[in-house]
Structure 1
Amino acid sequence: MNAMLTDDRIESMRSTVMNAVDGDIKRRGTRTRRAVGLAAASVLVVGFGTIGVKTLSDSQNIATSGSDSSSSAGDSKVIEGGGDSSGASAPEAYANEDAGRNSVTDEAASDGASQLDADREVIVTGSVSVTVSDPRGSAQKVSAYVDSIGGRVDSRSESSDDKYEAAYLEVRVPSNKVTATIAKLKTYGSVTNVSLQNQDVTSQAQDLDARIDALKLSIKRLQKIMADATTSNELIKAEGALTQRQEQLESLSAQRASIADQVQLSTLSIELSEKAKADSVSPGGFKGGVIDGWNALVSTLNNIVEFLGIMLPWAAIAVVLYGAYRLIAPRREWN
C-alpha cells in the first residue's frame, strides 16, 4: 500500500535522517578525542620516564666520580678480585688511608701544641751550689762563659779566710741556655745543689699588650682632637687627657719591657765554694809528745793552784769560826 508523500512526512523523514547523521558524527568525534587523549598521555608518560632515568643515571655518575676523586690516584686503581695495583685489598687500602689521615691529624695537633708552648712566656730563676778547688779562678771562668753565650754578670763577690774560700755570682743567661750553663758548671767541680723555679707570665704579658694597644689608639684619637680643636678650652682638655694617657703608656711599656727582659734572660745565683779544710796537726814525734805532756801537766797544776787560791779565803773563815766555837763550848759545860 503506497502512502502518499506529503510535505509533513517528507520533513519528518529528513529530520530523522539528519538526527541519525548528527549522532553518528558525535560518536565518531568522541572516539577520536579519546584516541588523541590516550596517545598524548602515552607520549607524556614515555617522556617523563626517559627524563627520570636520565636524571638518576647522572646522579649515579656524579656520586661515582666524587667517590673516585676523594681517593689518591695510586690507591684507587682496582684490579679484578678486589685488589689494587700494590697487592693490598680494598679494606686494607681504606685502612691505610685512614691511618694516613690520623697521622696528619696527630701531626697537626702536635704542631698546635708546639705553637702554644712557643707562645708561652715563662720567667726562670734558680740557684746552683758548686764545690771547686779554686773558687776565684772558677768565678772568672763562669763570667767568661756567661759573656760568650750572650748573658751578663749582675753581681760578683769573693770571700776567704784561713780555712774557707768562696765566690758568689748572680748571672743572667738566655732562657734556652740554662741547662747548658748548669752542665758547664759541672765541669768546674761538683754540683751539690740545683734549684729552679718557673713562673708563667703569659696572661700578664697579654694583658699589658692589650692595654698598651688601647692607650696608643686613645693617644692617636686625642692628637686628632687637638688638631681639630677650635677653642682653647677644647685644646686644654685634650692636652690634659693626652698627658695622662702618655704617662700610663710609659708605665705599662716599662712593665712590659721588664717582663720581656726576665723572660729572655733567666737569673741564676751561683755559689762557688772550696771544700772546708780539716784542722792540721803539726808532726812533733817524741819531743812533741813530751812538750804536749809537760804543757798538759803545767796546765793541770795551774788549774789546781787556781782552785786552792779560790778556796783559801773560805778555809780561813772556816778556821776562825771553828776556833770561836771551841772557846764557847767549854764555858757552857761549866755553867
Structure 2
Amino acid sequence: MSQETAAQPAMGGAEGGAPMADKAAEQAGGGAAPNQGKDTTAQAPDLRIDQRSIIYTGSITIRVDNVTDNAAKVTGIAAGAGGFVGGDERHSGDGSSTATIKLRIPADKFSTVIDQIAGIGNEENRGINTEDVTEAIVDLDARIEVQKARVESGKRLLAEAKSLDDLVMLEREVATRESDLASLEAKKRRLSDLTSLSTITVILLGPNATVSDDGDDPAGFLGGLANGWNALVASLGVLLTVLGALLPWVIAFGVPAWAILQLVRRYRRRDNLPVVTPAAEAPTSTP
C-alpha cells in the first residue's frame, strides 16, 4: 500500500516538473519586469549576428621558407589574440618540413587572426565554416530549467518519504533526474566552449613539401569503385609476396619429393606386373 501511494507522488513530481518550471519562469519574468519594463521586443532581435551563437571553424594552408620560425609566429599571433594552441604536429625534412597547428581563438578575433596568419607566407588554401547553434542552445536552456524543477520536486518528495521502500525508490528517481540534468549541462558547456572559442587549423608547408590529396577522392559509385580496385591490387600484392616467399621452399622440397614419388610408383608398377607362364607345347603325333 505504501509503495502505491509513493509511486503516485513520484510520477506526479516527474510530470509536474514542466508546470513548476513554468511557474518559476513566470515568477522570474515578473520579478524582472519592474526593472526592464516592457522588454518583450528586446529579446526578439536574434537575427543580429552579435546575438546569435555561431561556431566558427577554419583551415588555412601556407607555404613558407622556414616552417619552424613561422610556426613560432603563428603561436605568437594566437597568444596575442587571447587564444592558445590546441594541437601541434610537425614533420622535419630537407626543405619539405610541415607543421599542422590547431588554434583556439576567441570568436570575435577569428577573422583578424586568420588574416594575420595568411600574411606570413604564400596562402595556398583557405576554408571557413560556420554553424548556427542558437536554437540548440535555447532548447538546451529550456530543458535544463525543466530538469532542474524536476530535480527539486523529487528532492521535496524524498524529504517527505514515510517508509524505506519509498525512500529507496525516490532516491533512485532523484539520482536519475540529476544524471539527466548533468548530461544537459555538459552539452551546454560544450556548445558554449565551441561558440566562445573558434578553431583554426594552420598547415605550414616548406618550399619542397607536397600537399596531401586525401580529401580529393571521388565519392559515391566512383569512389567505391576506386577503393575496391585499390583493395584488389593490395590483396594481389600481398598474395604475390606470399607466393614469392614460398617458391624457394617449394622448389627445394617439392622437386625431390616429386622425384621420389615417381620412383615409388615405378617400382610399384613393376611389382604388380602379372607373371606370364609359357604355354605347354602340344604333343606331336607320329605317323
Q: Place the TM-score, normalised by the shorter chain, in its bin.
A: 0.5 to 0.7
How do residues 127-276 of structure 1 correspond to structure 2 at under 5 angstroms? 127-276=59-208
Deviates more, 1:189-198 or 1:144-153: 144-153
Contact kept, 8 Å, 2:97 with 2:205, in 1: the verdict is yes
Contact kept, 8 Å, 1:135 with 1:274, in 2: the verdict is yes
**SS of the residue 2:125 aligns to:** strand
The AA in structure 1 aligned to 2:181 is: L
Post-superposition offset of 1:241: 0.6
Counterpart CA distance in 2 for 1:181 and 1:221 is 48
Counterpart CA distance in 1 for 2:97 and 2:161 is 70
**SS of the residue 1:125 aligns to:** strand
Post-superposition offset of 1:115: 6.5
**SS of the residue 1:276 aligns to:** coil
Counterpart CA distance in 2 for 1:217 and 1:272 is 51
Counterpart CA distance in 2 for 1:176 and 1:163 is 36
What TM-score comes out, normalization by structure 2 length? 0.55
Return 5+ residue gaps in structure 1 as ranges. Answer: 1-108, 278-335
Q: Residues 249 and 111 (structure 1 numbering): CA distance in 2 closer, same or farther, change over 3 Å?
A: closer
The Cα RMSD (Å) is: 2.2
Contact kept, 8 Å, 1:185 with 1:191, in 2: the verdict is no
What TM-score comes out, normalization by structure 1 length? 0.47
**SS of the residue 1:124 aligns to:** strand
Counterpart CA distance in 2 for 1:258 and 1:112 is 25
Q: Residues 252 and 140 (structure 1 numbering): CA distance in 2 closer, same or farther, change over 3 Å?
A: same
Specify which structure has the higher proportion of helix: 1
Contact kept, 8 Å, 1:124 with 1:199, in 2: the verdict is yes
The AA in structure 1 aligned to 2:122 is: S
Alignment coverage as a number of residue pairs: 169
Counterpart CA distance in 1 for 2:65 and 2:95 is 13
Counterpart CA distance in 2 for 1:111 and 1:217 is 24
Return 5+ residue gaps in structure 2 as ranges. Answer: 1-40, 210-287
Post-superposition offset of 1:240: 0.8
**SS of the residue 2:94 aligns to:** coil
Contact kept, 8 Å, 2:83 with 2:105, in 1: the verdict is yes
Could you tell me which residue of structure 2 aligns to residue 123 of structure 1? Answer: 55
How do residues 308-323 of structure 1 correspond to structure 2 at under 5 angstroms? none
| 1:108-140 superposed Cα distances (whole Å, 9 cap, x missing partner) | x99964764333211111110112121111111
Post-superposition offset of 1:162: 2.6
Contact kept, 8 Å, 1:173 with 1:266, in 2: the verdict is yes
Deviates more, 1:244-253 or 1:186-195: 186-195
Contact kept, 8 Å, 2:91 with 2:99, in 1: the verdict is yes
Identity %: 27
Contact kept, 8 Å, 2:61 with 2:202, in 1: the verdict is yes
Larger radius of gyration between Structure 1 and Structure 2: 1
